Amino acid sequence: MTSGRICLVVAALLALAACATNIAGRKQLMLVSEQSAIAQSKQAYVQTMSKLDSEGKLVTDPKLVNRINTITGRLVAQAIKYRPETAQWEWSVRVIDDPKTVNAWCMAGGRMAIYTGLIQKLDATDDELAQVMGHEISHALLNHTAERMSMAMAAQLGAIATGVATESSANMVGAAALAQLGLLLPNSRASEAEADRVGIEIAAKAGYDPHAAVTLWQKMAKAGGKGPPQFLSTHPSPANRQQALAALVPQMMPYYEQKGPRPIYAMSAAPGAAAGQKATLK
């Protein structure tokens, strides 16, 4: 069989293997299950937190911890409304003492972290921190971790098929590079746009001002200077981000202006905490 035919067969098998539609309505290639992504993320999270704890880099200051728990707790309560099954996730958050790092993340399964550098260097308000964490939570809700893992697997399979057909290691490397450029980069942009859209809505419904999404990226741009913060390394330019988010603000204001208490999920700081904690009204 020629290399072209092998590649066509691999592409067809990948297309038929698994396709899912996320809550944003976009179809995703899913060769890796969400449960597998969650399991691997949990293992990585526990190992990372254990190491940071041994190095004394996990913040224990009650005021800051409570601030982050409150913000993320309100966001998680809204996230669960988007995907009720995520109430069973082991939602948790830790603050990492690293003044130089401007970053935050949420793994598959709801395990989060935010760095003191982001809080301090941006002098971030609660509304702005809610935009950051809402965006990161949205990546988990939209199953982006499993999608990235699936695309990496697809790239590897394509490279292997091409290399086997031509008996060329150079072709295998080239195919992997082409797969990364052709699949991963476009999807990354789509993923970021999705997370922005869902994140600003979650934050607004949790009672955080959507205008903060714009001011956040203004601060990010200033913090970047000659080199972008780590948080921006995998994100589109702040200018493009500001424009897209500013256009969403009018749609989000009714959610933000709703009266009444906002539910809050009782966050846990423990890496392996049990799931199923109930949301309470604040």
> Residues 6 or more apart from 49 whose CB is under 8 A from it?
58, 94, 113, 271
- CA gyration radius for the chain? 20
Query: What residues form DSSP beta bridges with 27?
Result: 21
Amino acid at 194: E
126, amino acid identity = D
Residue 26 CA to chain centroid, in angstroms?
Answer: 16
How many other C-beta atoms lie within 10 A of the C-beta of residue 261?
9
Q: How far apart are CA 282 and CA 278, in angstroms?
A: 13
The DSSP bridge partners found for residue 265 are: 279
Is 136 one of the annotated active-site residues of the chain?
yes
Structure tokens at 74: 């309100």
In sequence order, the 6+-apart residues with CB closer than 8 A to the CB of 35 are: none
Give percent helix, percent strand, percent coil of the chain, each to the nearest 5.
Answer: 65, 10, 25
The catalytic position among 90, 128, 136, 194 is 136
Q: How far apart are CA 7 and CA 161, in angstroms?
A: 6
- List the beta bridge partners of residue 279: 265
**Which active-site residues does the annotation give?**
136
